[in-house]
Amino acid sequence: MPSVHVLNGPNLNLLGEREPQIYGADTLADLEARCKEAAQEAGVTLAFHQTNSEGGLVELIHAARAEGAAIVINAAAYTHTSVAVLDALRTCDGLPIIELHLSNPHRREAFRHQSYVALAADGVIAGFGPEGYSMAVAAAARLSQSRADRSQS
Ligand code: CA2
């Protein structure tokens, strides 16, 4: 069964506590529950992680790579700053990579308009709030399936 790893970066463990007008009212546990449901519907297995450290995010990308899993990544602030995260994603040759954000960074401050993650991503889902998590898992599952089909034909 294909596998999808949903990776969350710094401060997302505090979701639901502050700034609900930007990030929605869901907690990280609520987002995990949405992802589990979407994974079940799509017939994929799910891993869901959060870390506050840049190195931690790199390690989580390596773990997804080792498993051959599709990656959904909300790298939070590291989206806009981390060459280390970009380099790690670039080692995941051929694995589906979806960049995910709760808010739409392009409607926000200029420093959020740059994304290192986008340079390695197959697609970006942003601005749909908590629902974006279900959308991203479904998109990652479809990409995994179509790549598996292509490699068999
Ligand atoms: O919209 C997103 O999902 C972001 O990745 C969230 C990041 C931000 O730096 C990106 O530009 C866009 C910030 C996550 C901060 O998480 C919080 C959680 C609770 C309360 C306040 C912030």
* pLDDT tens, position by position, 49-69: 999 999 999 999 999 999 999
Query: Edge to edge, what strands does the sheet with 3-8 contain?
Result: 45-50, 3-8, 70-74, 97-101, 123-126
Query: Is 23 an active-site residue?
Result: yes
Q: Which CATH architecture has domain 7-65+78-120?
A: 3-Layer(aba) Sandwich (3.40)
The minimum-distance atom of ligand 1 relative to the CA of 108 is 11
What residue spans define the domains of the chain? 7-65+78-120
Ligand 1 touching residue 14 (CB < 6 A): yes
What is the DSSP code (8-state) at residue 10?
T
**pLDDT tens by residue, 85-123:** 999 999 999 999 999 999 999 999 999 999 999 999 999
Active-site residue, from 78, 101, 116, 133: 101
